[in-house]
Amino acid sequence: MKFRGGYNITLQGRPSKKVKILPEPEALYLPLESKRFDFTSIYVEEGQKVDTGDVLAVDPGNYDVPLLSPRAGTVRLSSTEGHIVLEDISTVDDVPDYDKDSIPHIARQMGASGEMRHKLLALGAWQFFRDAYTNELPDPMGTPQAVIVSTLSLDPFTARGDVQFKNRLLQFTRGLEYLQSMLEYQPIYLVIPKSRTKFHDKVKDQIRGYAWVKLIEVPLEYTRTNFNILARNLGLKRADGPIWGVKAGGVLAVDRALTHTKTSLVRIVSIGGPGVKTPEHVKVMAGYPIARIREQYAREGQMRLINGGFFTGRMLGEDEIGLGVEIAGITIIPEHTEREFLGWLRPGFDRSSYSNAFLSTLRGKFAEKFTTTLRGEPRACVSCNFCEEVCPAGIMPHLIHKYLYSDMIEEADAARVDLCVECGLCSFVCPSKIELREEFIGAKVFIEEEKAEAEAQRIKQEEAVQKEQERRKESSEENLY
Ligand code: SF4
Ligand code: SF4
């Protein structure tokens, strides 16, 4: 498979392979909103006692995907805005209230495959799936044209596939078998690292004889595991139907749901970055208080906590009290409150750059202590072309930036800003500190909205014309009598 662009940076604070279990907190704060989900239908009441695995709320806009209770406890609905709080929590093993007899219509229409899909949705495993092109939750009862399973995470710092896998290769392959049994003839592409490692050999050994699995070996470079890019490189067209993308943790959740009828309420989350005391992977449930993570992991001084990886994560806001259901990593970076005097000019030994601008290029590869400082001032595009070199989507970020800067929206659309996979590499390498990724995210939304509005206008006009034609026909018929 031939890839475009891509780039690796080495940052300080890479979590070790060991997975630590975090101590139980006194309360859990479950956010009602995450990147993809909005749990607006609340199923519980103030003061209600719930068990582990009970449904607290569902997202009606996403096939009623449930927000499950990670622990037994007492519900508080109004104590923390935007969250369901669980107090007096205890670790009773989950006995999910799953009743397959409640879905006779699914069993009738889709047989065993429908029952399995329903079980995945009810037990929280379906949340691990996404559509490769849209990133949205796929229809659990839909038919994909293919499934892409990735064993890797290359965005620093999100939980690594080999860590998720540790000692669970058998469960993983069983999960793959379940996936295959839910499909008809559609292929499963399994993404593994190209480099010969123990992990690579183990996976290959384990799936030997699975003719329905197509192995895809990718170099260990950011953005090689982006589902959108993989789908495009595999020649899977968006118009031919959904493509399910799922990572190792999701396949393990499938196994847990279908083998043991159990929920996957605990996530493996990486805590890394230059602002972390001891970078590590932790086993933690949704709702875990962010303040406790800050206390335990952030170094002294002002630190910024980012929900997600270094390139694509989002700063955790003051109003976010607990970990969300989709969390895969927390990146902690020292906050710079003072502007660096002539930062762009100082040829530091301690900073890396895609260009050869800094003396540090003489040091060879080193783990950089990255901070939130801009390290320079924003300025106009200098046409260095770095953004185009690293872009995995094969578009010209500098050109699109110039179009957007001049409000030439149609030209930006024609230059295929829609192909941007929001990886953030262009913004990272840009020596002029232009926020290209943010610009393109905004432009994509704007263009989509404009197109939807134009389409709505077109339909309205067509309906008006049709109505007018019908009216004229009716009145000419009346005149005949
Ligand atoms: S954010 Fe978009 S434009 Fe920038 S490098 Fe990634 S895919 Fe290309
Ligand atoms: S990397 Fe920045 S300065 Fe260089 S061409 Fe792209 S937008 Fe312009």
Domain ranges of the chain: 110-264, 380-481
Quote the pLDDT of residue 318.
87
State the distance from the centre of ligand 2 to the C-alpha of 257, rounded, in angstroms: 47
Instruction: Say which CATH topology domain 110-264 has.
Output: Rossmann fold (3.40.50)
> Does 53 have pLDDT greater than 60?
yes
Quote the pLDDT of residue 92.
65
State the distance from the centre of ligand 2 to the C-alpha of 303, rounded, in angstroms: 29
Name the token pair of 226. 């982006």
- Residue of 440, 441, 444, 445 best suited for mutating to test ligand 1, as the one with most atoms within 8 Å of CB: 440
Q: Give the mean pLDDT of 32-51.
A: 96
State the distance from the centre of ligand 1 to the C-alpha of 148, rounded, in angstroms: 21
Q: Give the mean pLDDT of 319-347.
A: 79
Greater confidence, 94 or 432? 432
432 lines ligand 2 (CB under 6 A): yes
Residue nearest to atom 7 of ligand 1 (CA): 420
Residue nearest to atom 4 of ligand 2 (CA): 384
Give the pLDDT confidence of 208-217 residue by residue, as tens digits: 888 889 999 9
State the distance from the centre of ligand 2 to the C-alpha of 121, rounded, in angstroms: 44
Name the token pair of 167. 């000692």
Mean pLDDT of the chain: 88
State the distance from the centre of ligand 1 to the C-alpha of 221, rounded, in angstroms: 15
379 lines ligand 2 (CB under 6 A): no
Q: Give the mean pLDDT of 407-424.
A: 96
Q: Give the mean pLDDT of 25-53.
A: 95
Atom of ligand 1 nearest to the CA of 419: 7
> Does 105 have pLDDT greater than 60?
no
Q: By the 8 A CB rule, do 217 and 194 touch?
A: yes
Atom of ligand 1 nearest to the CA of 425: 5
Residue nearest to atom 4 of ligand 1 (CA): 426
Give the pLDDT confidence of 65-101 residue by residue, as tens digits: 999 999 999 999 999 999 999 999 987 665 555 665 5
- At 205, the pLDDT band (50, 70, 90 cuts) reads confident
Please tell me the number of the ligand nearest to residue 424's CA: 1
Give the pLDDT confidence of 250-273 residue by residue, as tens digits: 999 999 999 999 998 888 999 999
> Does 60 have pLDDT greater than 70?
yes
> Does 39 have pLDDT greater than 80?
yes
Q: Give the mean pLDDT of 197-218.
A: 86
76 lines ligand 2 (CB under 6 A): no
- At 470, the pLDDT band (50, 70, 90 cuts) reads very high
For the question of whether the overall pTM of this predicted structure is more than 0.85, the answer is yes
- At 331, the pLDDT band (50, 70, 90 cuts) reads very high
Quote the pLDDT of residue 134.
94
Quote the pLDDT of residue 226.
94
Residue nearest to atom 8 of ligand 1 (CA): 391
Chain position carrying tokens 């010209």: 396
Quote the pLDDT of residue 360.
62
CA distance 276 to 303: 9
- At 10, the pLDDT band (50, 70, 90 cuts) reads confident
> Does 49 have pLDDT greater than 70?
yes
- Residue of 387, 399, 420, 425 best suited for mutating to test ligand 2, as the one with most atoms within 8 Å of CB: 387
Residue nearest to atom 2 of ligand 1 (CA): 420
Give the pLDDT confidence of 168-186 residue by residue, as tens digits: 889 999 999 999 999 988 9
- At 112, the pLDDT band (50, 70, 90 cuts) reads confident
444 C-beta neighbours (distance < 10 Å), count: 17
386 lines ligand 1 (CB under 6 A): no
Quote the pLDDT of residue 476.
83
Quote the pLDDT of residue 361.
65
Atom of ligand 2 nearest to the CA of 385: 5
391 lines ligand 1 (CB under 6 A): yes
Q: Which of 86-90, 195-199, 214-218, 457-461 has the lowest mean pLDDT?
A: 195-199
Give the pLDDT confidence of 347-368 residue by residue, as tens digits: 566 666 677 665 566 666 767 7
Give the pLDDT confidence of 117-152 residue by residue, as tens digits: 999 999 999 999 999 999 999 999 999 999 999 998
Greater confidence, 260 or 481? 260
State the distance from the centre of ligand 1 to the C-alpha of 388, rounded, in angstroms: 8
State the distance from the centre of ligand 2 to the C-alpha of 392, rounded, in angstroms: 15
State the distance from the centre of ligand 1 to the C-alpha of 416, rounded, in angstroms: 11
- At 163, the pLDDT band (50, 70, 90 cuts) reads confident
Greater confidence, 195 or 420? 420
